[in-house]
Amino acid sequence: MAIKIIKPGKFKNPKDTRRFLCLNCGCVFDADRGDYEAVTIRNQLDDEIAHQAICPACHKWVRRSEPLDE
Ligand SMILES: [Zn+2]
């Protein structure tokens, strides 16, 4: 029987948080898992995973991000 989360706790895994940099307006923001989504970008050689979130300032899609480990 697998573990099933009925209601998530308050503890968050820091690795799930990513820091985004909006290239449109320069806004820097942190987004938790669930606030961003992973998309697959098809390159010529292979597929690449990109994470995207909506900028809270200008509401454009932001794809420039890095994992926030601490
Ligand atoms: Zn922005």
pLDDT tens digits for range 11-69: 655 568 999 999 999 999 999 988 999 999 888 888 888 999 999 999 999 999 998 87
Ligand 1 centre and the CA of 44: distance in Å?
29
pLDDT recorded at residue 49: 87
> 67, 36, 34, 27: which is closest to 54 by C-alpha?
36
pLDDT recorded at residue 70: 59
pLDDT recorded at residue 60: 97
The structure tokens listed for 25 are 């307006």
Residues flanking ion ligand 1, Cβ below 5 Å = 22, 24-25, 27, 55, 57-58
Cut 0.75: pTM above it: no
